[in-house]
Chain A
Amino acid sequence: EIVMTQSPATLSVSPGERATLSCRASQSVTSNLAWYQQKPGQPPRLLIYGASTRATGIPARFSGSGSGAEFTLTISSLQSEDFAVYYCQQYNKWPPGTFGQGTKVEIK
């Protein structure tokens, strides 16, 4: 099973600043990686798939990059509604589609 490791566990950022979240796979997942956002009390929402393609309705301030085993989610200018937990998920070797443990983006 492919293990996904996200860092940092918590990221403290001021509104308007850039946030950079990392996701590392235990082996190459090519570009078969997705990112999800989850706010408290809500279900996750798909942000990015194929490592860099934004899902329907996702603002352009969210961008994904990387391939192989190293990936990054960048939020260019944090808005108040972006403070949440972010999960990466690999689906190159599926089943199972394994998730990272999450990165919490909190207000600094």
Chain B
Amino acid sequence: EVLLLESGGALVQPGGSLRLSCVTSGFTFTSHAMSWVRQAPGKGLEWVSAITDSGDGTYYPDSVKGRFTISRDDFKSTLYLQMNSLRAEDTAVYYCARDSPVLSYWGQGTLVTVSS
């Protein structure tokens, strides 16, 4: 069974930083690209970042480019999202998803709230 479990969400002040983690199991992590997608409260879905299966390619939309960094630890089958210079508009549930650009399996999400 494919499992994705996010953690690291918290209340953080504007301008602050946070690192999200996504521990995976049930599949060969090194064979799959991985993604982060977010959903603001009561809103739709927004793709946030992706990383290739080999880790040599990373992708971001303009809304987070230069502030967010996606990475992976293949030994731990874990995906990360380092978020810096956080803004109020980054408030959302952040989902980890397997594969890219089609998002085959999703975790339950972790809530990030940016507020003073």
A99 touches B46 (CB 8 A): yes
Closest B residue to A93 using CB positions: B101
- Chain A binding surface, main DSSP class: loop
Contacts of B106 in A (CB 8 A): 43-45
Closest B residue to A33 using CB positions: B102
Count residues of chain B with CB under 8 A from any CB of chain A. Answer: 20
- Chain B binding surface, main DSSP class: loop
Closest B residue to A41 using CB positions: B108
Count residues of chain A with CB under 8 A from any CB of chain B. Answer: 21
Q: Which 4 residue pairs across A and B have the least CB separation, nearest first?
A: A91-B101, A43-B106, A97-B101, A96-B61
Can you give 18 A-B contacts (C-beta < 8 A)? Answer: A34-B103, A36-B45, A42-B108, A43-B95, A43-B106, A44-B95, A44-B106, A45-B106, A55-B104, A89-B45, A91-B102, A94-B101, A95-B50, A95-B60, A95-B61, A95-B101, A99-B47, A102-B44
